[in-house]
Structures are given as C-alpha cells and as structure tokens.
Chain A
C-alpha cells in the first residue's frame, strides 16, 4: 500500500468539494455558574454516587489518611499499588501505610513486571488532577508518575483530589488546561464511577473490565 499516494488522492478529491467555514463555531450556551464550593461539591458527590462510586469529603491530609484506612479495612485489602504523583506524596500515603498491615507492591520500571503487579494488587491508589462537578468525573493525566494500569487493573481504585481542583464542568476544564499538541499527555482519562456494563439482559454490572469499586477522597 502506498500511503503517500493514497493521502494525496484522498485529500485532493476532498479539497475539490471542501468549503472553508467562516470561523470556529461560536456558542451562546447558557453557562451554569456555581462559585460556591459546597454547591459544586454537592453536585460532584451526587455524580460520583449516581455512577456507582463513593466519595469521602475530608478536611485535611490527616483525615484523608483516616478515610483511606477505613476503606482499606472495610474491603479487607492486603496489597496495594500506589502511583507516584504529587498528590500521593503530599498526603504522605506511603509512609502512613508502612506502619500498617498492608503490603505496598513496588512499582517496577519493567513493563512486564509492572503489568503483573497491577493485575495482582487488591487496590490501586492514585491522585487525580481535576474533578468535574456536573458529572462527578475525575481526570487523570497519565505519565511517568501516574501509570495507566494502577487506576485500571486492580478491583478497587482509590483516588485523592484536592478541593481547588474541582471545576464546574468539562468546558471549564478545557479552558483551564488549554490543550495543545505540546501540552497533551500520552493519555488523559476521564473517570466517572467504576467500570460498568449492561450488555447481558440490561442488568447493570460493575467491574466489567476495570475496577468494581471507585472511591474518591475529596480533600
């Protein structure tokens, strides 16, 4: 197959009939304006819960760790895999868990070992980069310090997000991150609730391929 000549043929035949639009599509959409954190949080929590996840709102890092402890105990988690992003360090999760009865599976730089770790852990713990109030969504920039499988392969995903990262909706998110070719990470994931399917007789089932449980600890 000659990709270059295909390219030429396809683009040329399209260009014969293409029409340049006047400019970007402008919108006169009504914006929901909520500035008040409590109202935003209310909506966020409602969204997460509606999608089958659970939110804990905590005052500070100390409470965040306590919330984590409760979740891990409740689910009888014995092994965890933890990302290495800023949020995780900020909360001091690793140090906290060291004194507990929980095994932290070390992150391997070797893809095969990493895969094994993530496929076998009971829970994956990560930070989230943003949260969206109107849908109850968290957003994760995947990269060096937040590998993709940590929030995907274990049956439970626990995510930490700070209050000042809570935005009203996806439009505000786009305005905030100003996406460009340079700024985009290799993968960015919007997560709303745990993995879901309704493909068998329309019965909703969580944990189809991804996590069965999603916990958001909102600081």
Chain B
C-alpha cells in the first residue's frame, strides 16, 4: 500500500476542503454512532459488558505467547498447518510461493487489514496470480485503483454514478443508477471467480486458543465462499488476534459487531476449525494459518504501547473522533486510520515516518470511552510524544524541534512550583493585554499563529481563583 503518512497535513488540508466528502463523512459517523448506541443499549448491562470485553482483551494480550502456543497446538490437531512469519516480506513470499506450488492462477480474498498492511494482493498479482477482493466495498476500491476510504465503508465516499461508470469501464456492465443492479453485477462477476479460484485468503477476527478455531465476521457471504470453495484456504493473522476461550470470543463478538456497524450480530459468523474432514464434500482440503509478527513483538515489549495490541479493529474510535470526522481516512496515509491509526501507523512504521499522526489528536479521549477493547489511544499518543521529547529512539522518534524542547523545559520549570506559576500568570495577564480585542486574542503573530488559526485565546480574568479565595478567607 502506498505510504503517505509523511504527508498528513497536506492531505488533511485537501480533504478538509472537500465539502461533499466532509458531509458524507460526518453523516456516516453520526449514523454509525447512533446505531452503536442503540445496539449497546439493548444489552442487559452495557457497562458491565464493555468492562468484561476490555478485561478479556487486556488479559489476552498479557498472556499472548501462551495463548498462541495453545492455539497452535489445537489448530494443528484439527489439521491446520500453522506457519510463523516475522515480517511482511516473509509472509508475502511464503503465501505467493505456496500459491505457485499449488499451481494456482486465481485467488479470492476476504477483507483483511493485515493483508493490506503487507501488500499481499499486489504481491500475488505480481507473482502472476490474479487476485480479487470480494467484499463489495473493497472490490470497488480495487477496481478504482484507490485505497479504502473508511474501515467499515471502504467506498462510501463514491457516488452511485461514479461506481456505475467504473463498473462500465472495468467489468463491462451497462450503466445504471440502481445500487441493487450494481451489486448484482459485482455478484455475477465474482461468482465466476469464486467458482474457479484455487486459493482463498482471509484474515481472522479472532483466533480461539481453546479450540484452535478462527472466527470470521461478515455480512455479504464472500468470506463464506472464499473459505468454502477453493481447495486451499490461507488465513493470515497477526499475533494479537488470539483470545483464550470460545466464550471470550463470543463475548468480544457481541461488542465487535455492535461497535463496527451497530449490529447485534453480523449476518454471518463463521467458526472454522481445521480444513474439511473426511467425507465432507465442500470446504478446503488444506488450511494454512500464517501467524505474523511484523513489528508487534517490539510494541509488546513496552508496557504502555502494548495496549494498542488490544485493538479488535472495530473502527468505532474513528466515528467519534473529532479529528477523523473532519479530515477523513486518507490523511492517515496508511492502512490504519482514525485514532488507532494515529498510534498504530507510527508504531509499525517508525515514529519519524508518521510524526504528525500522534500529534494530530485533541486528547479528548472519546476513543477510549467508546473502545470495546480497552485501548487508551490518548495515553499512547502522549507516550509517543514523550518519547520524542525524551530522545527515546526505540521506535525511531525524530528529534523534536530545538525551540519546542526548550519551551517545554521552561514550561515544566514554571509549572513545577506554585510561586513560579503565580508570578507567571500575573506576568501573562500583562503581556497579553496589548493583543486583546473584545476580551480575547484572535490572532497571534509569527510561528505562534497556528494556535489561533481555528480558536481564540480568552483573556485571563483580572484575578485568579487563588487570589479571590485568599481574599475571601480574610
């Protein structure tokens, strides 16, 4: 996938100027949030359910290596081939050469973030294996040669007309204004691919240690096809997908679909344990499970940052994020967008390559309040900023601007002592005076102008709380 994390500000500005897209984005986010809220309200005790989910993910991450061992053991017993890959290169090479070994020339793919992360589809295509995204949204995006706009609705920013023109050009169907007809065209086109593909590739929403099962969540049925028709099914999963038991998994399932689309359950949930058994007519003859690290063990070594691995990729944090709902998904420049992308992209790519992302948060914490997996994005973003200031290079932080560092040092020094703080605030009152108009500062000069670009600084009141308090006490 095209990497553009270094262009955050530029892309954000471009997208902010796109009125039409902003409207779609804010409406979509509002709808998602409303659906989410009502589906959670239907739980007997939504807070207890959320708490339990967060604990399950926290414990799963804490205990990850042991759960992975159990998962591997049980999946192998069920007849799956479990394979471990350290990075994107290894996983891609393994999967492409496996497909070639099987003599495959056609592959059907289910939607999976991890495969986007390693650019698997492109690798397969380059290796001479025709590969199709089969989720409708992803299929449209693939046909258009774009990147997904939104985790849940990859193509919601495209109009019916655009899609109609696109399908007319790429799959040769007549133009139409009817979305159902467009969906049928895609159905017919992909049916043919399902029928003939030798390889099916999916991700995993969860991997259950207790049984060695993979859980896949969807509405369209494309994942069921991709995991039922081709002779070989390859699951690509990152190490953090594992949960202890089936009942943990089904609890997370309840929270996942509710947070993702506001559904109490998705239309289809597949629980896959090994390849088809003797005597079964359909289902894959072989099941490969590729467990991929790709930088996650390193994240795991940091107590605060490892929280990011609790994420179940529901996308809810994006819908409630004041930054995301304005700038949209493209600005995040890589696979993951929204609050989780703001910390996960830098962690996976190196902080220096995605510096703007973890700085572009208001720290409002809405993401944490809504997260069903207990990810505290705000705290992680703060930790990344601190790493940058402290010169901690463990995640390739770039050097902070010299002036900024000095400023922070003075700031800290002032805040650390009460008397210094009191003097400083009195001074500020005087310094601010000339710039104040109508009780506020609307424009700061020079490099400080960024602060007042979108907001005013209110005038400090004539007396601080402390001063009033001590006067009253007398």
Chain A residues within CB distance 8 Å of chain B: 1, 3-4, 6-7, 9-11, 13-21, 24-25, 27-32, 47, 51, 107-109, 111, 114-115, 119, 134-135, 137, 142-144, 147-149, 152-153, 170-171, 173-175, 179-181, 184-203, 205, 207-211
* Alpha-carbon distance between A115 and B231 when the two chains are bound, in angstroms: 12
16 contacts between A and B (CB under 8 A): A13-B301, A18-B64, A29-B49, A142-B280, A144-B281, A152-B224, A174-B250, A180-B210, A184-B212, A185-B277, A190-B265, A192-B265, A200-B183, A201-B159, A201-B163, A207-B187
Interface string of B191-214 (1 = CB under 8 A from A): 100110000000000001011110
User: In chain B, what residue has the closest Cβ to A9?
Assistant: B86
Q: Is the CB of A148 within 8 A of B182?
A: no
Contact A21 B62 (CB under 8 A): yes
Contact mask for chain B residues 264-280; partner A; CB cutoff 8 A; 1 contact, 0 none: 11111111111111011
Interface size on B, residues (CB 8 A): 103
In contact, B220 and A21 (Cβ under 8 angstroms): no
> How far, in Å, is A175 (CB) from chain B's closest CB?
8
Q: Is there a chain A Cβ closer than 8 Å to B315's Cβ?
A: no
List, in ascending order, chain B residues with CB within 8 A of A192's CB.
265-268
In the complex formed, the residue of B with least CB distance to A148 is B228
Contacts A147-B281, A189-B271 hold; do A135 and B44 have CB atoms under 8 A apart?
no
Residues of A within 8 A of B293 (CB): 6, 10
Please tell me if B74 contacts chain A, counting CB pairs below 8 Å: yes
Chain A residue at smallest Cβ distance from B91: A1
Inter-subunit contact A147/B271 (CB<8 Å): no
Give which listed residue, B94, B155, B186, B273, contacts A185 with CB less than 8 A. Answer: B273
Binding site for A on B (CB under 8 A): 28, 31, 44-45, 48-49, 52, 55-56, 59, 62-66, 68-69, 72, 74, 77-78, 83-86, 90, 93-94, 134-137, 140, 153-156, 158-160, 163, 179-180, 182-184, 186-187, 190-191, 194-195, 208, 210-213, 219-222, 224-225, 227-229, 239, 244-248, 250-251, 253-254, 264-277, 279-283, 291, 293, 297-298, 300-301, 303, 306
Cα-based distance from A135 to B271 in the complex (angstroms): 17
Which listed residue (B55, B158, B282, B303) contacts A148, Cβ 8 A? B282
